[in-house]
Amino acid sequence: MTAALSSTSTQRTVDLGPAVELVSKEEGHRQPLAPEFVSAEDFSPLEVAYDFGRVRREDIESGPRNIWRYKKLLPVPSNVEEIPNTEPGCTRLVRADRLAKALGLKRVWVKDDTGNPTHSFKDRVVAVALAAAREFGFDTLACPSTGNLANAVAAAAARAGWQSVVLIPSSLERAKILTTAVYDGNLIAVDGNYDDVNRLATQLAAENETWAFVNVNVRPYYSEGSKTLAFEVAEQLGWRLPEQIVVPIASGSQLTKVDKGFRELGSLGLVEETPYKVFGAQATGCSPVSTAFRNGHDVVQPVKPNTIARSLAIGNPADGPYVLDTVNRTGGAIEDVSDEEVVEGIRLLARTEGIFTETAGGVTVATTKKLIETGKLDPEAETVLLITGDGLKTLDAVEGRIGPKATVPPSADAVRAALQS
């Protein structure tokens, strides 16, 4: 697929910085950098391989206050910070003592990715996808999505002056349509469910040589963007790795890339190679990876999602087996939580740390609680929680459960009485 384009792209000089080739995840088949995502040899996902050379902390610290400070560790052009794109990253790592106390943990950090341009971690992956896609000669950024990804793609394309094509199910909530439509790209509502939209995207990616579907044909580059979460956590901790990290699982890509990021930092000598455990979080209503982990399987049985955590509702997660590998290798675990617990997780984080996360963040917080209760997470070890999206986008999850403490007439006595009741 995209054969014409990739043959063109091998003729021109593609500058993707330290990236040198693509490697298949199963059997390690190597092939030139191109907008392809599945190995023709073993049909496994393709991943970017690098020749990093020497990378020093000073190179990073003197870079811009966004993910491009890590450009020597990403598949992006060496002048990437000069090219119009969004500038996500360098979000807060918050020392969360009140959350720690509530959970019975010794030391907790919250990586608050709601500070990104469109308020989710998707800005990271989309920015890297856009930078790589430009090198391959694409001129349109595209995706199928039901939420965060749609926002991120439409916004990044707008900023770069690119066309965008965003495919959504026509039944999507009005608010999610507005937050994508405002960027004035080509937002197309498709009469069908998310599976229909996804299939359509794969077909269009194969047929349209100038469309970069961020999570299809340029997925190997796109997914590398999640490494920047690991890079930032390590740098913000003072160039060291945490002992435990809890990561939500949708396709599973983010979890494996956070691990990849930590390993790259270690192998480059940017941090000491101290042991860390990676934990995965799912909603019970879409918990194929958690179920496989619990049953000791190394393959993941697809499920039909039914959870309020829609941004994690991928029933057949592409990177599920690799998540199991990572979690088992590092000595972590995976758990899943009910929708009720998800809402409690959202409320706990808001109440203790003033951070309002979307349902995916509720999954991460609630799963952390469960992992402690089941003895899988060490309460004495330093723990990082990845909070990857914003509560403003999933207001329906808390609707009907929270509200004013009281409604009173406009008198000081009435306010005081309400507070004492």
- Chain positions 151 to 180 lying near a second copy, rule: CB under 8 A, are 154-159, 161, 165, 167-168, 170, 174-175, 177-179
Toward a second copy, which CB reaches closer, 112 or 264?
A: 112
Instruction: Give the shortest CB-141-to-a second copy separation in angstroms.
Output: 11
User: Mask of contacts with a second copy, 107-146, x by CB under 8 A?
Assistant: -----x-xxxxxx---------------------------
Name the token pair of 132: 């790589």
- Residue in 204, 237, 268, 303 binding a second copy, rule: CB under 8 A: 204
* Residue 134, CA distances (Å) to 140, 221, 287, 355 in order: 9, 12, 36, 35
Residue number with CB closer to a second copy (138 or 183): 183
Q: Provide the strand spans (E) within 92-229.
A: 92-95, 108-112, 140-144, 163-169, 186-190, 211-213
Which residues from 257-286 bind a second copy, rule CB under 8 A?
Answer: none
Q: Contacting a second copy (CB under 8 A), which of 38, 188, 268, 303? A: 188
Which is closer to a second copy, CB of 86 or CB of 282? 86
By beta-carbon proximity to a second copy, the closer residue of 159 and 376 is 159
Residues in 41-100 that interact with a second copy by CB under 8 A: 65-66, 84, 86-87, 90, 92, 94, 97-98
Q: In angstroms, what is the minimal distance from the CB of 60 to a second copy?
A: 14
Spatial contact of 380 and 134, defined as CB atoms under 8 Å apart? no
Which residues are 245's β-sheet partners? 278, 384
Task: Kindly state the smallest distance separating residue 256's Cβ from a second copy, in Å.
Answer: 27
Q: Is 34 in the site for a second copy (CB under 8 A)?
A: no
Give the nearest distance from C-beta 230 to a second copy in angstroms: 18
The beta strand positions in 66-145, using DSSP E, are: 92-95, 108-112, 140-144
Sign of CA pseudo-dihedral 395, 399, 402, 407: positive
List the one residue out of 409, 103, 80 whose CA is nearest residue 225: 80
Q: How far is the CB of 289 from a second copy (least distance, A)?
A: 28
The residues in 306-365 that bind a second copy, with binding defined as CB under 8 A, are 346-347, 350-356
Contact between 237 and a second copy (CB under 8 A)?
A: no
Q: Least CB distance from residue 331 to a second copy, whole Å?
A: 32
Do residues 221 and 128 lie in contact, with contact meaning Cβ atoms separated by under 8 Å?
Answer: yes
Euclidean distance between CA atoms 32 and 6, whole angstroms: 10
Q: Are 359 and 311 in contact (CB under 8 A)?
A: yes
Check binding of 199 to a second copy (CB under 8 A): yes
Sequence-distant (6+) residues with CB within 8 A of 13 are: none
